[in-house]
Amino acid sequence: MAMATAADRWTPDRVRALPQDGNRYEVIDGELLVTPAPRLVHQRALRELFRLLDEYVVANDLGELLWSPADISLDPESLVQPDLFVVPRRGEAAYRNWTDVTALLSAVEVLSPGTARADRTVKRRYYQRSGVGEYWIVDLDARLVERWRPSDDRPEVVADELAWQPDQSCLSLVIDLPRLFQAIHREA
């Protein structure tokens, strides 16, 4: 097996230079991750999660809930595009560029058929070592959320109520997951 050369190693700058072709490109530690356009149910899941999370983030003045495409580099060797993410409040100064974002309170990835390996391994390790407060992997088929925190060796698997409290001075946001998945899958 041949060793990879420096030219084979992807960088955030190489990824930013790629053409806009409908794919989502990310790089973590030199590994290029390519994701095609998501399924409709994936987008519906993001909409429902955004509705729940945004109200909480705004009401508690935690920061900003945003979505991809976004070029988030929490270290110089990586560029990720989490499906949804919360950037922490930074006083009165607003974020002006993606390069201003150097930390995340949370990141959310909704699994798609082609993203499970990257979401559960490569991205999970990246978010953990980058100190992202919580990383949620939303499994639409299994109807559960895998919650990871920076020091976790295993995920907390949540299928009923998902409680999120990024700031101890705020009440927890409690998400009724069966109800959420019913809305996503358009079930009565």
Per-residue pLDDT tens over the stretch 21-60: 877 888 888 888 888 778 889 999 999 999 999 999 999 9
- Structural domain boundaries enclosing 89: 39-63+81-184
Q: In 10 A of CB 120, how many CB atoms?
A: 17
Q: Is the confidence at residue 6, as pLDDT, over 60?
A: no
Q: Is the confidence at residue 19, as pLDDT, over 50?
A: yes
In which band, very low, low, confident or very high, does the pLDDT at 180 lie, cut at 50, 70 and 90?
Answer: very high
Q: In 10 A of CB 53, how many CB atoms?
A: 21
Q: Is the confidence at residue 1, as pLDDT, over 70?
A: no
CATH code of the domain in which 134 resides: 3.90.1570.10
> Could you tell me if residue 4 is inside a domain?
no
> Could you tell me if residue 27 is inside a domain?
no
Q: Give DSSP secondary structure letters for 9-33.
A: S--HHHHHTS--SS-EEEEETTEEE
Q: Which residue has the higher pLDDT, 157 or 96?
A: 157
In which band, very low, low, confident or very high, does the pLDDT at 7 lie, cut at 50, 70 and 90?
Answer: low
Measured CA to CA, the distance from residue 121 to residue 123 in angstroms comes to 6
> Could you tell me if residue 99 is inside a domain?
yes
Measured CA to CA, the distance from residue 175 to residue 22 in angstroms comes to 32
> Could you tell me if residue 32 is inside a domain?
no
